[in-house]
C-alpha cells in the first residue's frame, strides 16, 4: 500500500520507511513556532524550574502578534517578557510585531516541503499549504518540544477533499472553506489529516492555499495539506529557502484515504456564516441581509495581500456606508509595504477604511478593534464564536474579503457579485 504525503512526512520524522494510521510514533521536530500569547509566558516558568534551555534555537520561530501593539500595562509586560526570553534563549528567528505568526513564518522562509512542524496555535495547519505537516499543540506539549526537540503523534488517517472547476466572479478560497464547514461540520476532519486535491487547488495561488489549510482547524482536522508543486517551490525560493526534493513528498498513486469528498468550485456561491459558528455557513442568497456595525478585514485567514486586493477591487471608487466602520489589519508588515506600493492601501483608505497595525488585532479579542455590547460585525476571520471578538453579546458573521468589502458599501450583508458586475 502506498503512502500519503502526511504518512511520508511523519515516517521521515520518525526515522522510519513507512508508518500506518493508528500507530503512535516519536518524531523529531524540524520547526517549532510560538507566539507571545501561548509561548514564553507559559513555558518560561517551567523551564526555569527544570533548569533547562531550548534544544535548538535555530529551529524555533518566535513571533509577537496577539498582544501587538500593546494597549495597556498588562499586554506591555507580556511583550517585554517575550523579548527577554528571546534574548535569554538566543532566539534569532524572533519577529517582534511584524505580523501574524501563520503568515510571517512562511513569508520569512521557515517552511519547506517535507517538514514536520508544530505551532503553539490552533491555526498552525496553515503550514500544510507549503507541503509541511504542521499542527497545533498546547503549552505543555510545546514545553516538551522546546526542551527535547521531539514529540509523539498518532499517525492520522487522511481524508481527501477534491475540488474541481473554476471560481465564478466574487468567489474565493474563504468561500470554499466555509462551504466545507457547512457541509462536513466542525468535526468533519475527525482530528485526522486533510489533503486538498483537484484542479481548483492546483490553480490557487499560495495565499489562497494558506486560507484553506488554515481553516482545516475549523473542520476539526489535525492538519490540512496541499501537495507541493512548482507554485510551492517558487514561493519558497522567493522567501529565501530551498524547496529541496519536493517531488518525493507527493502521495503515492495507491495511497489509501479514509474517505473522499468532492466539491464543484464552478457551482460555489459567496458564503456567509451566521453567528456563532463557521459551520453556520450558507449561500449569500439564503442569508438574511443583516445590518452591520463593523466590517473587519484582518487575521491570518483574511488580510494577506490577495485578500486586501479583493477588498480594493470592490471598494475602488466606492465609500463605506455612513455611520459604519471598516477596519483593516494587514497580516504582516511586508504585506502592508507591498500593498502600499501597489496602491491598494490608498484605495482602502480613500473608501473610508481605518488602518490598524499588522497583527492579530481584534480577531481573538485583543487590543484595538474589538466589539462593544450588542455590536454586529462581518469579518474575514476564521472564527465567529460567541464573545471571540469582544463583548459576549456581540455577534460576528464570516465571509470573504470580497463580501465584507461589498457589504461595507451598503452597510448590510451584500453580494459582491452585484458590485463587480457594474
Domain-wise residue ranges, the chain: 5-242+256-264, 271-416
- Judge whether residue 258 has pLDDT over 80: yes
Instruction: Give the separation between CA 165 and CA 111, rounded to whole angstroms.
Output: 29
Q: Region 325-333: what's the mean pLDDT?
A: 97
Q: Which residue has the cell 459576549?
A: 392
- Judge whether residue 146 has pLDDT over 90: yes
The dihedral built from the CA positions of residue 9, 13, 19 and 23, taken in this order, carries a sign that is negative
Residue 264, CA distances (Å) to 35, 160, 161, 176 in order: 37, 14, 11, 10
Q: Region 124-138: what's the mean pLDDT?
A: 98
Q: pLDDT tens digits, residue range 336-350?
A: 999 999 999 999 999
Q: pLDDT tens digits, residue range 226-253?
A: 999 999 999 999 999 999 999 999 999 9
State residue 422's pLDDT score: 79
State residue 367's pLDDT score: 77
State residue 12's pLDDT score: 98
- Judge whether residue 364 has pLDDT over 90: no
What would the CATH number be for the domain defined by 271-416?
3.30.499.10
> Same CATH topology for 5-242+256-264 and 271-416?
yes
Report the chain's terminal Cα–Cα distance, integer Å. 53
**Nine-digit cell string for 29:** 521536530
* Pick among 3.90.226.10, 3.40.50.620, 3.30.499.10, 3.40.50.300: CATH of 5-242+256-264: 3.30.499.10
Q: Region 99-103: what's the mean pLDDT?
A: 98
**Nine-digit cell string for 360:** 492579530
User: Could you give the percent of the chain with pLDDT greater than 90?
Assistant: 97
Mean of all residue pLDDT scores within the chain: 97
Amino acid at each position: 500500500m502506498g503512502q500519503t504525503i502526511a504518512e511520508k512526512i511523519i515516517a521521515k520524522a520518525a526515522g522510519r520507511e513507512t508508518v500506518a494510521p493508528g500507530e503512535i510514533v516519536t518524531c523529531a521536530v524540524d520547526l517549532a513556532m510560538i507566539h507571545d500569547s501561548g509561548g514564553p509566558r507559559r513555558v518560561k516558568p517551567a523551564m526555569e524550574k527544570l533548569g533547562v534551555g531550548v534544544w535548538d534555537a535555530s529551529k524555533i520561530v518566535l513571533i509577537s502578534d496577539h498582544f501587538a501593539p500593546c494597549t495597556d500595562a498588562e499586554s506591555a509586560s507580556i511583550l517585554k517578557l517575550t523579548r527577554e526570553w528571546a534574548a535569554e534563549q538566543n532566539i534569532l528567528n524572533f519577529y517582534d510585531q511584524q505580523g501574524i505568526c501563520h503568515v510571517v513564518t512562511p513569508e520569512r522562509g521557515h517552511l519547506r516541503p517535507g517538514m514536520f512542524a508544530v505551532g503553539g496555535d490552533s491555526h498552525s495547519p496553515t503550514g500544510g499549504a507549503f507541503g509541511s505537516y504542521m499542527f497545533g499543540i498546547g503549552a505543555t506539549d510545546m514545553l516538551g518540544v522546546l526542551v527535547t526537540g521531539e514529540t509523539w503523534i498518532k499517525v492520522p488517517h487522511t481524508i481527501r477533499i477534491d475540488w474541481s472547476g473554476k471560481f465564478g466572479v466574487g468567489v474565493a478560497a474563504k468561500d470554499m472553506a466555509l462551504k466545507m464547514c457547512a457541509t462536513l461540520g466542525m468535526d468533519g476532519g475527525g482530528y485526522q489529516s486533510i489533503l486538498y486535491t483537484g484542479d481548483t487547488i492546483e490553480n490557487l495561488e499560495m495565499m489562497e492555499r494558506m486560507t484553506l489549510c488554515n481553516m482545516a482547524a475549523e473542520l476539526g482536522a489535525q492538519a490540512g495539506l496541499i501537495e507541493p508543486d512548482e507554485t510551492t517551490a517558487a514561493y519558497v525560493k522567493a522567501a529565501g529557502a530551498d524547496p529541496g526534493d519536493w517531488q518525493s513528498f507527493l502521495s503515492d498513486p495507491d495511497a489509501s484515504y479514509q474517505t473522499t469528498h468532492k466539491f464543484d468550485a464552478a457551482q460555489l456561491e459567496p458564503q456567509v456564516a451566521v453567528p456563532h459558528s463557521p459551520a453556520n455557513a450558507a449561500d449569500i442568497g439564503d442569508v438574511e441581509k443583516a445590518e452591520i456595525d463593523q466590517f473587519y478585514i484582518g487575521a491570518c485567514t483574511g488580510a494577506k495581500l490577495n485578500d486586501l486586493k479583493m477588498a480594493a477591487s470592490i471598494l475602488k471608487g466606492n465609500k463605506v456606508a455612513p455611520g459604519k466602520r471598516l477596519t483593516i489589519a494587514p497580516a504582516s508588515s511586508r504585506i502592508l509595504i507591498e500593498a502600499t506600493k501597489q496602491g491598494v492601501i490608498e484605495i482602502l483608505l480613500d473608501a473610508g477604511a481605518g488602518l490598524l497595525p499588522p497583527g492579530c488585532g481584534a480577531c481573538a479579542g485583543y487590543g484595538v478593534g474589538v466589539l462593544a455590547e450588542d455590536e454586529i460585525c462581518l469579518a474575514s476571520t476564521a472564527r465567529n464564536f460567541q464573545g471571540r471578538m469582544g463583548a459576549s453579546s456581540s455577534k460576528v458573521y464570516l465571509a470573504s474579503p470580497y463580501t465584507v468589502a461589498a457589504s461595507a458599501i451598503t452597510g448590510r450583508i451584500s453580494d459582491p457579485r452585484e458590485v463587480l458586475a457594474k
